[in-house]
Structures are given as structure tokens and as C-alpha cells.
Chain A
Amino acid sequence: MNAVNSHITPDGRTIGAPIMEMKNITLRFGGVVAIKDISFDIKEGEIRAIIGPNGAGKSSMLNVINGFYHPQEGEVHFRGKKRKSLKPHQIAKQGIARTFQNIALFKGMSTLDNIMTGRLTHMKAGLLSQTLWWGNAQREEVENREVVEKVIDFLEIQTIRKTPVGRLPYGLQKRVELGRALAAEPKLLLLDEPMAGMNVEEKEDMSRFILDVNDEFGTTIALIEHDMGVVMDIADRVVVMDYGKKIGDGTPQEVRSNQNVIDAYLGVAHD
């Protein structure tokens, strides 16, 4: 596979050069090695899945990608440049947004307000202007609200626009969280188990939204998911992790026939 030139998938999407490259990442918490010498890349425009059994280090990997964890060894390259150690909000400004495994919304706030928080990095008005609700602040609010309304329309959650998020069922909360990430207009979207705890119908809806986000906005997506059916259906390439190590990498078909992967999922004694 040519890693540099862009290519077009059979269904007509353009997949470009790597947007994010992980080079020999090792992450330790004290004596525990969470990630051990892992390298892989995420290409522009693709849907990249990270799978693996419980405790394989998937969420840690996601936290490395979005800069929350700083690996002890290895380099993270973003858009071809080595990324320095950054604070999460600085990472957000670079165009990386995420959702969480355990929903992290403001429960008492409405859907609308929650998604509006995703626009935070796009707000530039000063304290004075915001306090007086005048000039820039007012104009920005209108602009941001427009983006938020488009996200609401996209995710078909008009009915719950003004409903406090805490009152919503789980599946809808997940959708609101995706909405908040989308409102940031990210280049790279990280989804931590977007379908966990959902029923079949909700999973189908969420899969469609993920595909549509990728298709409509050209957003690159990296996702962690347990449901193999979903991963095989929507991902372009899959990284498989087990006990902090990478044991497989490739298209869903390649990964499916990889003996190491089969062993990891069926449970084989480790050395």
C-alpha cells in the first residue's frame, strides 16, 4: 500500500496522506506498561478503528492521540510534524475532537447548550463584549448557533433541542455527545466506544451518522469499538491491540484472517 499518495475507495471517498502518525509509542503508568512500542498511522479521510479485548490499552491510545497522556517513548506526528507536548485545549484548537466512553456531558444543561460548548474554541470575543452582550459576542453567538443548528439537523435531534441532557435516554445522550464533538468542526474525530450499551437499532443509527460525518464533511475518524460487526462494516482499516501491543493492522478482511487476532479474541495462553 502506498502510504503517501491519495487514493479513492471503491465507494468514491478520497483517502489522503497520513494526518496522524504514531511512532514507537510506549506509555507507562509507574511499572505498568499500558502501551508497548506501537506504531500506526491515520490517513486523511479514512475511518480507522482500534479494537482489542478489555484492558488492551485502546482508550490509553486514544488519550495519547488527543494529547491527554504523554508517552514516555516514541513520537506523535501530526500533519507531518512532530507534535510537542500540548495541553488538551491546544490540541482541540488543532482540530481534534472526541467523545468519551462514559458520557461526559453537562447533565443539567439542554442539548442545545451542550452542543454549543463544542464551539468554545471558535469563540474569540473578549470578556467585556461577552458580559455586555454587544458587538463581537453577539455576532459570534449567532454564527455559532447556526453551526449548532446544522449539527442538530444533521443528527436529527430537533425534538430534544431544549431538553436537559440528564433526562435523555442513553442512546440519545451518545448522539448529543457526538453532536458536541461535531460542533467543533474537527479535522480528526476520536470516538471512544460510540456504540457501547446500545441496542441494534441505535447501533444502526449511530453507524449511519458516523459514515455520513465521514462522507459529508470529509472528517477523518478514529474509533474504538467492541462490536466487531460494526467495525468490520464501517472501518477502512483496523488496528488490533492486545496487552498493550499491536497484533494486527490492515483492512477488516486482513485483520479477520490474522491468526494473532483470532487467538487474542478466542483467548490463547500468553508467554
Chain B
Amino acid sequence: MTNTTNAEALDISMDTQLDDQLNTVPKLLARNAIQYANAPAYREKEYGIWQSWTWSQTAKEVNALALGFLDLGIKKGDHIAIVGRNRPYFYWAMVAAQSVGAVPVPLYKDAVAEEMAYVLDHCNASYVVAEDQEQVDKVIDVIDDLKDMKGIIFLDPRGMRKYDKSSLFDFKEVQQNGRDKSSKLQKTLDAIIKSQNGDNTCAMLYTSGTTGRPKGVVLSNRNIVETAKATCEFDTLSVNDSVLAYLPMAWVGDFIFSIGQAYTSGFCVACPESGETMQHDLREVGPTYFFAPPRYFESMLTSVQIRMEDAGKFKRWLFKVFMAHAKEVGPKILDGKPVGLYANLKYLLGELLITGPLKNTLGLSRVRVGYTAGEAIGPELFEFYRSLGINIKQLYGQTEASVFITQQNDGEVSADTVGKPSPGVELKIDEKGQVFYRSVGSFVEYFKDKKSTAETKDKEGWVATGDAGFIEKTSGQLRIIDRAKDVGKLKDGSMFAPKFVENKHKFYANILESVVFGDGKDKCVAFLNIDLTAVGNWAERNNIAYASYQELAGHPKVYEMIQKNIEEVNESVAQDDMLSSCQIHRFLILHKQLDADDDELTRTQKVRRNIIAEKYSDLLKALYDGSSEIFTQTEVTYEDGRKGSISATLEIRDAVVHSKKQVAA
């Protein structure tokens, strides 16, 4: 069975590529197999060599697997779970599942067996496509409780020689079986693909679920394909682009980049050799389209800084001179603004000597479009990459929106906004400040959860994000302030958004954690945690002796340093139109680090402000009653579960606050 005939059967040929006809991922694949037949679709490093598959080869692999699926009895509406690291085979499995009318459900590969059991049971998965023994073992652990589970398809047979093979199937054998039966099943398969349209489910992705059980977000082919088409056009992504797929396959972003946009525009998806070799593989592949969460950019910057400190004097000098210049003019050059001939020449020289090689080392030389999202990114960090000439932009999105809600245009980039509505997205903000959107990418429903669906998405199609934000007047871009439920009001009626201020605090290396209070009060106060690595380093350089976190945290010089940071943040907060009253009037540095073991943080390291407020109510009271120090005793849980208590006398400091006028004057 060749692809040409496959495409003919689907009535897809070069001259009938009407957009509305290409409304599902399998149909896009059939088109790519002709239009981009010899362009690379997938690459994966294996045995030290980059292997690649063209679009026409990919179509054959997917076709064989889909036939194999049919032969296994997988039918319309079945759910096929997929679990493993980013590998071409799993992307094929997703498209093959779609081709037979089944719904692919990618899972987090590091989920423990119970978590996996919940999802497999919730979606009534009939088959699991698993990477290796580790994943197969997890499924086998819970298979007895899964009444719909018919079998496991595995990719890497290693270690499973002696397993009971009655419900285990080798991925390659399933494909071979499909090829063998193609004369019998090909017509059926083609008919199924042809009968599908934008309403058919494209995938189901489980949201991580910070509150309660994970929810299965159902996304239709229309959601994915239309969103991908619009956003590919937005960033002019084409068959000549490439991306490195290294973020979890269960995450909606990977699905939209590596399936949605890749199949729409025909660009190549490269998979790293293993999770640990990602940085190295990134450099070898040199993608033109790149996505990473802020913490990835941060760790890359830290490694650059550490390695520069180890470099020789001359190199350090070069780095200092040219990075300073790049910081000044780099972002402007990137945005196409004039900077003058001399500055341009100096920037070019810097590119030749410093920034060019640096970008190459980071694997970012070819990046044309880069996005960061997920949480706030520090302006310094953002500026660093942009000054190198790497076009990093901000994006705001969520699973329910097929990712894209807002994104920044080239040339309209800033660190504290997240951009204008993506193509085809309508935005509104209600009286409480919560952001709502309506778009072609808005999810169909939460699987088997009508109640949650109704709570999130209203009859007119507006979806609640749960985030509070506003449209910045000067730029017309959305700015996210906080989770909507955390936003409140001060006594005088002005808006209170703790995370907005906390993030600004946390951009300082010295401050690890900040918890701001003020809802319903007349002014804002803060608890702080210092970063032991950064402050400890500073103490070492300045000959400040300390024995414990507590001692260092209470050191007057540390207080002085932190006070300076807080006051700088106050100054920047003061300039904000809506949030100028969120400046910190009084603060203290906590005598212990906030810890998930003490329930003060979630396991994903987010602060639980209500629990903290309750636990340290004495400290909070002292912050408001004007006392200059307070004695406190706190129960702590050690890692082995034993409990103890620590006591300390904490200093409370007043910080200078600014009125808006003061700053202007």
C-alpha cells in the first residue's frame, strides 16, 4: 500500500487541498506524505546517530500501526493510553489511534502506578502503548482493577523475555501484523479516516490537578487543527522549521507543537536520545522553534555564569564588555529599531567573539521563534536572552484552550505582559478581574464530568481561566496578576494581588520565597525566606560567619540587604497604575524555610498562604501592631517524620514606601 493510493482514497491530492477538507490530523498526514514527501518529519538520536523519517515514511509507519490496531480490535471511541519519553513511535501511535477513530491519551511517564491507575480507569483505556519494562510493570501492577484493559503494546522488549505474553504485544509486531493484513483492512481504515471531521476527538489530556483529581480535557480535531493553523501563520512556521520535543508528551504544549503545528506546517520534530542528553542534543539539532519554561532558561543562565567565573581574565573581560553592550542594544536590534552604525558594528563584533559562540553552546543559534510560559519570568532573565538576539516571547495559555490564549508579536515583547489575544481568540475580563476567553481551541468538555464543564465553560462558549488580569493600556497586552481566588482588596478599596509582588521579590537571587498579606487590611506586609545558596555565598565572600539558616536569616547585614531589595520592589510597584498600594510596609525574614513537609508549600512548591497565615498568626499580628521584634515558637517536621520545635526572636523592619508622585518627582 503506497501513500499515493492512500491519499487518493481520501480524495486528497495536490490540487484539492481545500482547507476545510484537511480537518483532522490523519488527513493532514496524508497530505504531508505527498506535499512534503521527502522532507524530514521526525528525527531521533539512537545509537549515537540521528535517525530520520520523511513524511512519506512516517505515513507508512503510521498506516501499518493503524492497521495493526484495527486487527487488535481497537475501534471508534476506544481510549489508547500512551506512556513514555518523547519518541517518534509514540507520536505515530497517537496518530494511528486517531486514524482508527480511537482517542489517544498521553500520560506522564513519571506518574506512579496509582496515579496511572486512576487515569487508565477514568478513561476506560482499552490498550496502553508503553515504552519499556518500567512502564509495563506499572500497568501490570494495576491491571486487575482495570476492567476495560485488553492489552499492553510495548516498544522496548528488554527485561520482559519471561513475561506472560498473552496480553503483551510488541510494537513492531503490531505494525508487521498490520502490513500483513493490509489487503484485508486497508479499505476499512481509509473509510474511517475519510469519514472523520473536525468534531472527532483528537486527544484527551489530563490536567495536572492542583485541586482534586486530574480532569480529562477533551480536545477535538477542530480545536487542534484550527488552533495550529492560525498560530503557524502567526509565527510563519513552515516545513523548513524544526523543534526539539523534550517536554512531557502528556502536556498540552507538546501535543500542540509536536502534533498540531508539526502536521499543519510540516516541520520536523526531533527527539533527544534520552532525557539527560537533551542539552547536548539541542545543540546538535539547533531547532528554529523552541519552547521552555522560565526555570529552564534560568538554569541555563546560571550554568553560563558559573562557567564564565571559571574562565580566564581576558575572556571574562570580553564577556563583560560585549554582554553589557548587547544588553543595551541587543533587544532593540532584535525588534528592528535603529541603534546607529557604531553600536551595530560593535554588536556584530560581540556576536563574532562572544554571543555567537555562546548561543551555539546553548543550542539556540538558529532559534527564530522561542516561547516561554507557565509562570512569570524575571525581566533580567528575559533581557539576557533577548540581548543575545534570541527571539523569546511570552505566551499565555492552558490545556482547555489548546494552549493559545494570548501571545506576543515580534517586536512587541516585554517581560511583564503575556501578549495580545492569539488569532481567533476573544478575551474578556469580568468585574472581579478574572480573564475569560472564547476561541476555536476551547475544549469540548471534561471527560465524564458535566458539572466541572458547566462551571468552567458557559453556554456562550466563554471559558474561565481562573486567573486575574487586565489589559495594559499602553501596549494593549494582557497582564496576568494572580490566581483569581487570591486577588482581594485593601481596606481603601484598591486592588490586592499578592503574587504580583511576590514574583518581583523572587526575581532577586537572595529571596527564595515571599508571602504577601493585605487582603482586607490597610497595608501590605510580607514574610520572606532567604535563598541559602545565594546568601550563603555572599556571606562567605564577606566573611560573615553563621551556623544555621536561622542565624544567617536574622543577621543584621542580611536584613539590610533584603530591605534594599524590598524597597526597590516597592519603587517599581509604586509606578503601577492599579497595584501601587501593594507596596510592602513592614516585613520580616522567617526563622525557617517554608517546607512541603510542614504543609506550608504544595509538593510543586507553591505557597499555601492560608495555612501560613494561620500557622504564623502571631507573627502576622506583630507585623500589623507596630512592634519591632517578636518571640515565636514553631513546630517543625523533620524528613523522617519526627517533630520538633524551634524558637526565635524575629526582627521586624519597616520599609520605605513611595507614593506615585514621589517617584515621578
Using a CB–CB cutoff of 8 Å, the interface residues on chain A facing chain B are 11-13, 145-146, 149-150, 152-154, 156, 158-159, 161, 208, 211-212, 215-216
Minimum CB distance partner of A216 in chain B: B158
- In the bound complex, residues from chain A placing their C-beta under 8 Å from that of B459 are none
B162 adjacent to chain A (CB < 8 Å) = yes
Residue from B49, B161, B277 in contact with A216 in the complex, judged by beta carbons closer than 8 Å: B161
B274 adjacent to chain A (CB < 8 Å) = yes
Residue from B158, B161, B162, B276 in contact with A158 in the complex, judged by beta carbons closer than 8 Å: B276
* CB-based contact B274/A156 at 8 Å: yes
A258 to chain B, nearest CB (A): 29
- In the bound complex, residues from chain B placing their C-beta under 8 Å from that of A152 are 47-48
Minimum CB distance partner of A12 in chain B: B162
* CB-based contact A215/B276 at 8 Å: no
Minimum CB distance partner of B157 in chain A: A216
A265 to chain B, nearest CB (A): 30
**Interchain pairs with CB closer than 8 A, number:** 36
* CB-based contact A149/B47 at 8 Å: yes
CA A150 – CA B276 in complex, angstroms? Answer: 18
* CB-based contact A215/B159 at 8 Å: yes
B244 to chain A, nearest CB (A): 16
- In the bound complex, residues from chain A placing their C-beta under 8 Å from that of B276 are 158-159
Taking A156-B274, A158-B274, A159-B274 as contacts, is the C-beta distance between A13 and B159 under 8 angstroms?
no
CA A216 – CA B157 in complex, angstroms? Answer: 10
Residue from A12, A150, A158 in contact with B273 in the complex, judged by beta carbons closer than 8 Å: A158
CA A216 – CA B158 in complex, angstroms? Answer: 7
* CB-based contact B159/A158 at 8 Å: no
Taking A158-B273, A159-B276 as contacts, is the C-beta distance between A212 and B158 under 8 angstroms?
yes
Q: Which 6 A-B pairs have the closest CB atoms?
A: A12-B162, A149-B47, A159-B276, A149-B48, A158-B273, A159-B277
Minimum CB distance partner of B281 in chain A: A158
- In the bound complex, residues from chain B placing their C-beta under 8 Å from that of A156 are 274
A180 to chain B, nearest CB (A): 17
B522 adjacent to chain A (CB < 8 Å) = no
CA A154 – CA B47 in complex, angstroms? Answer: 10
Residue from B47, B159, B280 in contact with A146 in the complex, judged by beta carbons closer than 8 Å: B47
* CB-based contact A153/B47 at 8 Å: yes
Over the window 262-292 of chain B, the binary record of Cβ atoms lying under 8 Å from chain A Cβ atoms (1 yes, 0 no) is: 0000000000011011001000000000000
Not counting A11-B162, A152-B48, a sample of 15 additional A-B residue pairs whose C-beta atoms are within 8 angstroms of each other reads: A12-B161, A145-B48, A149-B47, A149-B48, A150-B47, A156-B274, A158-B274, A158-B276, A159-B280, A208-B159, A211-B159, A212-B159, A215-B161, A215-B162, A216-B161
CA A69 – CA B161 in complex, angstroms? Answer: 37
B46 adjacent to chain A (CB < 8 Å) = yes
Task: Classify chain B's interface size.
Answer: 10 to 19
Minimum CB distance partner of B279 in chain A: A159
B410 to chain A, nearest CB (A): 35
Among A12, A152, A153, A154, max chain B CB count under 10 A is at A153
* CB-based contact B46/A153 at 8 Å: yes
Using a CB–CB cutoff of 8 Å, the interface residues on chain B facing chain A are 46-49, 158-159, 161-162, 273-274, 276-277, 280
B291 to chain A, nearest CB (A): 22
CA A152 – CA B158 in complex, angstroms? Answer: 14
Minimum CB distance partner of B161 in chain A: A215
* CB-based contact B274/A161 at 8 Å: no
A/B interface sample: 17 pairs, CB < 8 A: A11-B162, A12-B161, A145-B48, A146-B47, A149-B48, A150-B47, A152-B47, A152-B48, A153-B46, A158-B274, A158-B277, A159-B274, A212-B158, A215-B159, A216-B158, A216-B159, A216-B161
B580 to chain A, nearest CB (A): 49
A14 to chain B, nearest CB (A): 11
CA A215 – CA B276 in complex, angstroms? Answer: 26
A118 to chain B, nearest CB (A): 16
B278 to chain A, nearest CB (A): 10
Residue from B46, B48, B159, B161 in contact with A161 in the complex, judged by beta carbons closer than 8 Å: B48
A236 to chain B, nearest CB (A): 14
CA A32 – CA B154 in complex, angstroms? Answer: 56
Minimum CB distance partner of B162 in chain A: A12
- In the bound complex, residues from chain A placing their C-beta under 8 Å from that of B273 are 158
CA A161 – CA B161 in complex, angstroms? Answer: 28
CA A78 – CA B48 in complex, angstroms? Answer: 37
CA A19 – CA B48 in complex, angstroms? Answer: 35
Minimum CB distance partner of B273 in chain A: A158
- In the bound complex, residues from chain A placing their C-beta under 8 Å from that of B49 are 149
CA A159 – CA B280 in complex, angstroms? Answer: 8
B135 to chain A, nearest CB (A): 15
- In the bound complex, residues from chain B placing their C-beta under 8 Å from that of A145 are 48
A25 to chain B, nearest CB (A): 34
CA A11 – CA B160 in complex, angstroms? Answer: 11
- In the bound complex, residues from chain A placing their C-beta under 8 Å from that of B277 are 158-159
Among B48, B161, B162, B280, max chain A CB count under 10 A is at B48
- In the bound complex, residues from chain A placing their C-beta under 8 Å from that of B274 are 156, 158-159
A7 to chain B, nearest CB (A): 15
CA A126 – CA B358 in complex, angstroms? Answer: 44
CA A154 – CA B280 in complex, angstroms? Answer: 19
- In the bound complex, residues from chain B placing their C-beta under 8 Å from that of A154 are 158
Minimum CB distance partner of A153 in chain B: B47
Minimum CB distance partner of A145 in chain B: B48
- In the bound complex, residues from chain B placing their C-beta under 8 Å from that of A158 are 48, 273-274, 276-277
CA A216 – CA B133 in complex, angstroms? Answer: 13
CA A208 – CA B280 in complex, angstroms? Answer: 27
- In the bound complex, residues from chain A placing their C-beta under 8 Å from that of B162 are 11-13, 215
CA A150 – CA B161 in complex, angstroms? Answer: 18
CA A153 – CA B49 in complex, angstroms? Answer: 12
- In the bound complex, residues from chain A placing their C-beta under 8 Å from that of B161 are 12, 215-216
- In the bound complex, residues from chain B placing their C-beta under 8 Å from that of A161 are 48
- In the bound complex, residues from chain A placing their C-beta under 8 Å from that of B280 are 159
A238 to chain B, nearest CB (A): 22
- In the bound complex, residues from chain B placing their C-beta under 8 Å from that of A208 are 159
CA A11 – CA B274 in complex, angstroms? Answer: 30
CA A215 – CA B133 in complex, angstroms? Answer: 13
CA A150 – CA B49 in complex, angstroms? Answer: 12
A22 to chain B, nearest CB (A): 30
A145 to chain B, nearest CB (A): 8
Minimum CB distance partner of A10 in chain B: B162
CA A138 – CA B48 in complex, angstroms? Answer: 18
CA A145 – CA B48 in complex, angstroms? Answer: 10
CA A156 – CA B85 in complex, angstroms? Answer: 14
A16 to chain B, nearest CB (A): 17
CA A146 – CA B49 in complex, angstroms? Answer: 10
CA A114 – CA B158 in complex, angstroms? Answer: 25
- In the bound complex, residues from chain A placing their C-beta under 8 Å from that of B47 are 146, 149-150, 152-153
CA A208 – CA B134 in complex, angstroms? Answer: 12
- In the bound complex, residues from chain B placing their C-beta under 8 Å from that of A159 are 274, 276-277, 280
Minimum CB distance partner of B159 in chain A: A212
Minimum CB distance partner of A212 in chain B: B159
CA A201 – CA B647 in complex, angstroms? Answer: 37
CA A87 – CA B49 in complex, angstroms? Answer: 37
CA A146 – CA B47 in complex, angstroms? Answer: 7
CA A150 – CA B47 in complex, angstroms? Answer: 6
CA A12 – CA B276 in complex, angstroms? Answer: 33
CA A154 – CA B273 in complex, angstroms? Answer: 13
CA A211 – CA B277 in complex, angstroms? Answer: 25
